[in-house]
Each structure stands twice: as structure tokens, then as C-alpha cells.
Amino acid sequence: MITSIMVPLDGSPFADRAIEPAAALASQHDARLHFVSVHEHLAPTEDAYRADREDLVEHLEQCRSAAAERWRITAVAHALEPEGAVGDTLAAFAERNGVDLVVMTTHGRGAAGRAWFGSVADRFIRIVPAPVLLIRQETRESRTAFRRILVPLDGSDAAERAIGDAVAVSHPDTEFFVLRVVVPVITFAPHPTGRTIALTGGVLDEQREEAAAYADGVVKKLKADGREAQGTVVVDTSPAAAILDSQAETQPDLIVMAGISRSGPDRFLLGSVMDKVVRHASVPVLIRRTRTAQAGAADSG
């Protein structure tokens, strides 16, 4: 159930593109909508700092007022002072206010050099406890309903959380496409020439059968809840490529993914799969990152 939605803004028109889908979801779920910005101390003088803050507050109020009037929702504006890094300040706000969903664009630049969406967004998305709906620059502004949702799964408990997130933002007539990507297990055996050869045969068949049974089970659960759903199994050494190919084939309005957030180069489940999909998908992507205890310790160090 979605009762509280957060939209981080930096004063830029690009960041504002998240407002329409966020407001539509707030209207659909009768949720409270929070427009949140962090006012960084970047101005060269105190007068410039105050003027910059006034501009930011005015922009937030305009966004709040317009959304509340158009969508008949409860909207609140928050101009925050930094509590450390911007991403940490936004994540702390989300946790304090019980935010169920964050809707934001992936990058942008506001007044007075406020540059949020890049490394800041990466940090914020990794630590915020709520799922994040990322709106891309190419996304049609009019897209406010998700009637076709692609849900890639890898068989892990962390990834399965995407199913609940997909259902939460769906409509009763939404069609779900469950994609199970099988990464073939490659084993090696000695060759008479002294080299090695890859053996997959029976192992791959077993992987495919298990994946098909898994996808079928997910589809049956969705159908039992009255949802339209179909499942597909794809064998590919590149999960990200398989997901993007499936997007081209199924033409979804949204991709929903969940996985484990880690530190360093091994940041996402299946390496950088989630990151690649976010960067290359042509539709919005809803992601949830479950932090491991190890990741949390590393991030706090």
C-alpha cells in the first residue's frame, strides 16, 4: 500500500518531469505527496544564499500548489537544510516520514550550481529504504499509468520483492510480463590438445527447467490474485541485454527490478545489471535495493 510519495527536486525543469507521474500515483492511491529539496550552501555571499533559498522555496510552493489543484491531492513542500551529504539528507527525510515510494529523474542541474542527479542520486538510491521510480529524459510526460509491466527475476528472494512493488503501482487491468533470465553455468574439462572445452549440456537443460517452473509459479500467483500475467525464460550470458531485448519485444510502460545493494564495483545483484538497465531502458524503471549487512558496514566506514 502506498500512502506517502516523495519527489526530490533541485529547481530544474528536468527534475520537475517527475512531478506528473508522482502526482498521478498519489491520486490513484490517495497518498500524500512530498516535494523535497535540499538547499546547499553554495552561494558566494549571505545575500545570494538567502535569495537562492527564496527562489527554491518559491519553486517548491509552485509545484505543490499546481499538483494539489490539478490532481486533488494532499501535497507538502519541504526545503531542507543539509544533514551531511545531500543524498543522506534525502534518505533521512524518507525514513523519518515513512515514504513508501520515491519518484525522481536520473540527473539534472538546478539554480546556483545545484547538481543533484548523478553521484548524489546514486548514493541516495543505494541507501533510501523505499523503492525508487526513475523517470528518464526520453519518457513521455503524459505517461502516468502503467498498463504493461516487465518484471525481470533471477530467482533470489531479494529480486522477488519486485513483484510486490510492481503490483503496488499497477492498475487492475495491468498486464505483467515475468522474465526469468538464465545465465548458463559453464564448466570446463581437459582437452587432448592441452586446452579446455566448455561443457554445458545437461547442466543448462536443468537450469532451463528450473527457471521455467519458477516463472510459471510466479505467473500462477499473479493470476490467482486476478492479474493478467505471462512468463518467459531466456538463456543469455548478459542478463542486462536480455532484459533490454525483452523490453523491445513486450513494449512495457515500466520495468520493475529489485536486488541487493553492495559496496564498490560489486554494487548490484548480478554485477551491474540493474545499473545497465536503468541507463539504457527507454521507459521508467522502478528499483528497490536491499542493503546487506556487509554493504551497510562498508558504507558507514
Q: Are residues 159 and 96 in the same domain?
A: no
Q: Are residues 152 and 284 in the same domain?
A: yes
Please indicate, yes or no, if residue 78 is contained in any of the structural domains: yes
Q: Are residues 157 and 95 in the same domain?
A: no
Please indicate, yes or no, if residue 239 is contained in any of the structural domains: yes
Contacts 24+ apart (CB under 8 A), 267-275: 267/126, 269/154, 269/156, 269/158, 269/159, 270/154, 270/183, 270/239, 272/240, 273/239, 273/240, 273/243
Please indicate, yes or no, if residue 140 is contained in any of the structural domains: no
In angstroms, the CA 88 to CA 107 distance is 17
Please indicate, yes or no, if residue 142 is contained in any of the structural domains: no
The pLDDT of residue 73: 97
* Residue type (1 letter), 295: A
Please indicate, yes or no, if residue 141 is contained in any of the structural domains: no
Please indicate, yes or no, if residue 143 is contained in any of the structural domains: no
Per-residue pLDDT, averaged over 161-165, amounts to 94
Looking at the predicted structure, is the pLDDT value of residue 35 above 80?
yes
Q: Work out how many domains the chain is built from and give that number.
A: 2
The mean pLDDT value of the chain amounts to 83
Please indicate, yes or no, if residue 49 is contained in any of the structural domains: yes
3-state secondary structure of 294: helix
Q: Are residues 46 and 154 in the same domain?
A: no
Per-residue pLDDT, averaged over 171-181, amounts to 95
Confidence of residue 116 (pLDDT cuts 50, 70, 90): very low
Please indicate, yes or no, if residue 296 is contained in any of the structural domains: yes
Looking at the predicted structure, is the pLDDT value of residue 193 above 70?
no
Q: Tell me which of 269 and 229 has the higher pLDDT.
A: 229
Give 208: exposed, middle or buried? Use CB within 10 Å, 0-12, 13-18, 19+: middle
- The CATH code of the domain that includes 219 is 3.40.50.620
Residue 34's domain comprises 4-135
The pLDDT of residue 120: 75
The pLDDT of residue 151: 97
Per-residue pLDDT, averaged over 101-108, amounts to 80
Q: Are residues 129 and 180 in the same domain?
A: no
Confidence of residue 110 (pLDDT cuts 50, 70, 90): very low
Q: Are residues 154 and 286 in the same domain?
A: yes
Looking at the predicted structure, is the pLDDT value of residue 201 above 80?
no
Confidence of residue 218 (pLDDT cuts 50, 70, 90): very high
